[in-house]
Amino acid sequence: MPKSHYTNWFNIRETFSRNFVTSAVNNATFDVTTSNANTTADILALAGTSPPTVLDIRVAGHPDVTAHWTDKTNWMIDGLVLVEGSNVFDLEGIDHDGNVIETDQFIIIKTNNAPPIILLETDPKSLNVDIGESITFDVSTSFDPEGDLLTFDWAVSPAYGANLIPNGGVAEATFAIPGLYTFTVSATDGEPQTTDREIMVSVHGDGSFSTFGNTLLDAPWTLADIEKHGNASSGPHYSLQDNDGRLTINIPLGLTPLGLPPVEVPAPVQYLDFDDVWKYNDDGDELTIGGVFAQPGFDDSAWLSGPGFLGRGESGLPAPGLQTDTLARGNSTNGLITYYFRKEFEFTGDPVGAQLDIDHIVDDGVRYYLNGQAIGNIRLPSGAIDSNTLGIKLSVEDEIEEDVLIADVSGSIINGTNVLAAEVHNESVGSSDVVFGVRVDIAANEEVGGGINLDDAIHPWVRRQLPAGDWTLQTEVKLEKAQFGEFYAGLLVEANQGANTFRYGVGYKNGTHVASMR
């Protein structure tokens, strides 16, 4: 088949594409739009425009910088180092075949001396070492834009516990004490101009830090339903070689379900009833924003207390009736709309999978909290809520609303003393009545000890046991793919704090937001 056949086909497709995009895009020129006025900047960012025939843009003689597109016709190039005097940059527009089809030249004058540029290499790259190991810093490839020779000075803080041996652009350090050490290298040219760079090094004392510097995960790491990355890995796999000093885990979402299986719980147990005694505040204070009043450590010692039902202006309530009927009434002077309630209770079950069920009579709207975490709104508007937010009027009064709120409280309930809190919003200032009364049932398994574990996880995982006693976790988590669902974690840490076991997670919420949870 003749070459012209292919050429004609591509020309037709190009014409079709040009007709599809707007004339403004088609008519864009290859130009630098950055001002070329004299500058004292050390690093230059260039911006410009380009026609759609240009696929990439490069600066001749500067392979270390790359262009990125900001929209259909505009581009930017960062990181061009300037020298004192005239700086000439030749820009080239490259088409899809790699041909230079556009050129432009940009000249700018730097009016002052440029400082040194420090280029650093370390061994190990992770900057994490054990006592008995050494770390090497190499800045010998650093340079001065004007070509001056450089001298280097090294320092470490704290100096006690580290032995620093400098040798020009290379330095080596060993350590006698675990900890975090900050190394500073200063490069000075003949002007003299000086550039400083700090390097943080973490030193570990018991050999337990994972530098991920080998090709295989070994003890203390364990694997479940995941293998080392091979040439034909199509399932869940890990790699220590895709990124230096980093454990990379790949879980194909189409092949592997994520999460834990649903927790089966027994029949619920009643923890609170309508006649329980509650602490309450009817002073009209602003305690709503941030849920400050709902925190377990909030000081409610000056609050009043009374048995439920609590309120005023109601006579038709079911048993036990309105037992505390002295709550203040709002008016145009005090502006009282919102009332606050707190109640402590003891929970002895397993937090994982715990389901909390609320029956109530509340006139009018309410937000519930458990240990400071909001768990649900009833008859409140969407958006921000404060003490001036009006509730939505209760349509049928004096009737118990059953199962009005059912919530999985695995992340908020604890084994021990808990605080259930509520803020009740009246439907208007000066409303003649307000009522609050709650019955709470919780379905939970028995606490069997040993803390939470991932043994029943239905997704692959990589795990290591943390040491006994006090420890510090140093890590970096990079989430490269959204895991769609309610919440999936890229990192889980399980830790005993006091008498309770907590799980901390970092991951994606709803596939769109990075989030953390406890």
Q: What does the block give as tokens for 454?
A: 């991932």
- The one-letter amino acid code at 111 reads T
CATH of 3-108, one of 1.10.1510.10, 3.40.50.1820, 2.60.40.10, 3.30.360.10: 2.60.40.10
State the DSSP string of 135-158: EEEE-TT-B-TT----EEEEEEES
In whole angstroms, give the CA distance from residue 310 to residue 280. Answer: 9
Hey, what CATH topology would domain 269-443 get? Jelly Rolls (2.60.120)
Count of beta carbons in the 10 Å neighbourhood of residue 288: 21
pLDDT per position as a tens digit, 64-89: 999 999 988 999 999 999 999 999 99
Pairing, β 237-239 against β 227-228: parallel
Is the peptide bond between 364 and the residue preceding it cis, with omega within 30 degrees of 0?
A: yes
**Contact present, 349 and 418 (Cβ < 8 Å):** no
According to the model, what pLDDT value does residue 335 have? 76
* Domains in the chain: boundaries: 3-108, 121-204, 269-443, 466-517
**Contact present, 414 and 371 (Cβ < 8 Å):** yes
According to the model, what pLDDT value does residue 232 have? 66
According to the model, what pLDDT value does residue 244 have? 73
Return the C-alpha torsion angle 252, 257, 260, 266, nearest 10.
Answer: 180
Is the four-CA dihedral 296, 301, 306, 307 of positive or negative sign?
positive
Whole-model pTM: value is: 0.51
SS3 477: coil
SS3 112: coil
Dihedral-angle region of residue 291 (phi above 0 means left; psi in -120 to 50 means alpha; beta otherwise): left
Rounded to the nearest angstrom, the gap between the alpha carbon of residue 203 and the centroid of all alpha carbons in its chain is: 26
In whole angstroms, give the CA distance from residue 292 to residue 373. Answer: 10
| Buried/exposed 18-49: b ≥16 CB within 10 Å, e otherwise | eeeeeeebeebebebeeeeeeeeebebebbbb
In whole angstroms, give the CA distance from residue 401 to residue 407. Answer: 16
According to the model, what pLDDT value does residue 350 have? 86
Instruction: Enumerate residue ranges in the chain where pLDDT < 50.
Output: 450-452, 482-487
pLDDT per position as a tens digit, 46-58: 999 999 889 999 9
CATH, range 121-204 = 2.60.40.10
